[in-house]
Amino acid sequence: MGKVVLGVAVGVAVAACTVAALVVGRRVRSRRKWKRVVGVLKELEESCETTVGRLKQVVDAMAVEMHAGLASEGGSKLKMLLTFVDSLPSGSEKGIFYALDLGGTNFRVLRVELGGQRSDLDPDVEQQPIPEQLMTGRSEDLFDFIASSLYQFVEKNDSVQSPITKLLGFTFSFPVKQTSVSSGVLIKWTKGFAIRDMAEKEVAGALQQALTRKGLNMRVSVLVNDTVGTLALGHYHDADTVAAVIIGTGTNACYWERTDAIIKCQGLLTTSGGMVVNMEWGNFWSSHLPRTSYDVKLDAESPNPNDQGFEKMISGMYLGDIVRRVILRMSEESDVFGPVSSRLYVPFTLRTPLMAAMHEDDSPELTQVARILKDFLDIPDIPLKARKLVVKICDVVTRRAARLAAAGIVGILKKIGRDGSGGITGGRSRSDIKMRRTAVAVEGSLYTQYTMFREYLHEALNEILGEDIARHVVIIVTEDGSGTGAALLAASHSSENVNNIQLI
């Protein structure tokens, strides 16, 4: 009997030891898997590091590239395009002005009434979809359709038979080679448009002809892009505005430059002594930018590899997809997110607004993170610590983007002597330089709707410039530079003859 009891006890002990060994084994394997995931995160953090020293190198590189782009065509990754806009709204403009904003599958028409004093603007706005057949048909048909819509819009508020010529600001968000403030040649269509007979033709002229055919006494007085419109709107509200940045789905910047600094157009004269330069800064590149393996793959798989490198690191089009790529790698190296979801292999499954919602989820259990992972990436029921990991990934990617955007802004300020350095490379401030108040207009959902992005950008501005200089730099938020800003530019150019700008 004793032997039987002893045998049972030994069996139980062996079983217990086996179970314990299995439990310990699972814990060891789990720790190893978690260690691998943490290693991926640590590698990401190190690759995305944006120390103040590194950001100042980016600042210097941006300023150098700006100089090079102004010196010669093709001399820089920055195109530094002339806009021929040589005056910005002052707030003294009076009258009724119109704008047309054409940049996608919809277009907008606006009417702005100005009373001669800076005030809140309340434009009348209408939006219309463009019939699909007009996006690939004849240019005459497209512009006739737009002219008819403009005619109906004007008719609601003003006399279309008035002998007084109405002025229109035209925002055309497609690649254009500007030839004057009110004319430019289409380089190529994008965004689903493919109207062959418009290739290398003058854009504003095509619209003007359609307005004439319709019998509408309206003149296209400015042809601009949305970034220039943002600068105009910022300057209307704040005369210290010297630059504008759009940080949304895409990104770009423009600024006010002295004409004598535009070396590639020697002999360029403007009555104001300055001109707005469209940087096309999305194409900026420098070896100082903190690039990761995820950025390299995203770029290689994009429709435009080796192009728009800065935009791919800081704009809303791409941030969510960088996060997706990090989560995919972690899933492939560990089962912390469960079996690898097939949705993780689909580019742009995780859009930046979803990423922002996860990043800013402040619920104790991170319920928003859980919902988005389940609904959009097909990753259900992951533990809280894995959800926290996702939030951290979002934080690293967003922080890098915001801080690089801040460095870009300071690069512009450095180029025009508004960063307190007195032109000293390396951004060292000088105490003997009197800083002028400087405003930068910013527009775009990534800045206006993503709180963490905005806070990281401001934090970086303070760190790069130093508090003494940073307090003189003001970020002002604008809304609808592409529409209202274009109408304001029509107003600021209303009393001017065509040849305010001369080449001698």
pLDDT digit string, tens, across residues 38-61: 999 999 999 999 999 999 999 999
User: Could you give the CA distance from residue 229 to residue 371 in angstroms, rounded to a whole number?
Assistant: 39
| Identity of the amino acid at 396 | V
Return residue ranges of the chain for CATH 3.40.367.20.
Answer: 49-81+237-478
Helix (H) or strand (E) holding 269: strand 268-270
Q: Please tell me the predicted confidence (pLDDT) of residue 426.
A: 45
Question: What number of residues does the chain have?
Answer: 504
In degrees to the nearest 10, what's the CA dihedral of 422, 427, 428, 434? 40
Q: How far is CA 258 from the centre of its chain?
A: 25
Asked if the model's pLDDT at residue 147 lies above 90, the reply is: yes
355-410 residue pLDDT tens? 999 999 999 999 999 999 999 999 998 999 999 999 999 999 999 999 999 999 99
3 state DSSP class of 241: strand
Q: Please tell me the predicted confidence (pLDDT) of residue 501.
A: 52
Q: What is the mean pLDDT of residues 446-467?
A: 97
| Identity of the amino acid at 478 | T
Report the relative pairing of strands 166-172 and 218-224 from DSSP bridges. parallel
Tokens of 453: 């992005």
3 state DSSP class of 73: coil
| Identity of the amino acid at 277 | V
Q: Please tell me the predicted confidence (pLDDT) of residue 423.
A: 52
Asked if 205 contacts 223 with a C-beta cutoff of 8 angstroms, the reply is no
> How many other C-beta atoms are found inside a 10 Å radius of the C-beta of residue 96?
17
Higher pLDDT, 422 or 400: 400
Question: What mean pLDDT is reported for the chain?
Answer: 88
333-352 residue pLDDT tens? 998 999 999 999 999 999 99
Higher pLDDT, 14 or 342: 342
Those residues whose C-beta lies under 8 Å from the C-beta of residue 207, and which sit 6 or more positions away, are 100, 143, 146, 147, 170, 220
Least confident of 61-65, 189-193, 321-325: 189-193
Share of the chain above pLDDT 70, in %: 89
Q: What is the mean pLDDT of residues 146-159?
A: 90
268-286 residue pLDDT tens? 767 778 999 999 999 999 9
181-239 residue pLDDT tens? 999 998 888 777 888 888 888 999 999 999 999 999 999 999 999 999 999 999 999 99
Asked if 341 contacts 383 with a C-beta cutoff of 8 angstroms, the reply is no
417 pLDDT tier (thresholds 50, 70, 90): very high
In degrees to the nearest 10, what's the CA dihedral of 193, 195, 199, 201? -100
| Identity of the amino acid at 268 | L
Q: What is the mean pLDDT of residues 439-458?
A: 96
As assigned by CATH, the class of the 83-223 domain is alpha beta
pTM of the full predicted structure? 0.88
Q: Please tell me the predicted confidence (pLDDT) of residue 316.
A: 93
Q: Mark residue 378 as left, alpha or beta (left: phi above 0; alpha: psi -120 to 50; beta: remaining).
A: left
428 pLDDT tier (thresholds 50, 70, 90): very low
7 pLDDT tier (thresholds 50, 70, 90): low
Q: Please tell me the predicted confidence (pLDDT) of residue 177.
A: 86
Task: Label residues 128-154 b or e (16+ Cβ within 10 Å = b).
Answer: eebeeebbebebeebbbbbbebbeebb
Identify the CATH assignment for 49-81+237-478 out of 3.40.190.10, 3.40.470.10, 3.40.367.20, 2.60.40.1930: 3.40.367.20
Tokens of 5: 């009891």
| Residues carrying an active site annotation | 191, 226
- Which residues are paired to 109 by β-bridges? 100, 126
Q: What is the mean pLDDT of residues 405-418?
A: 97
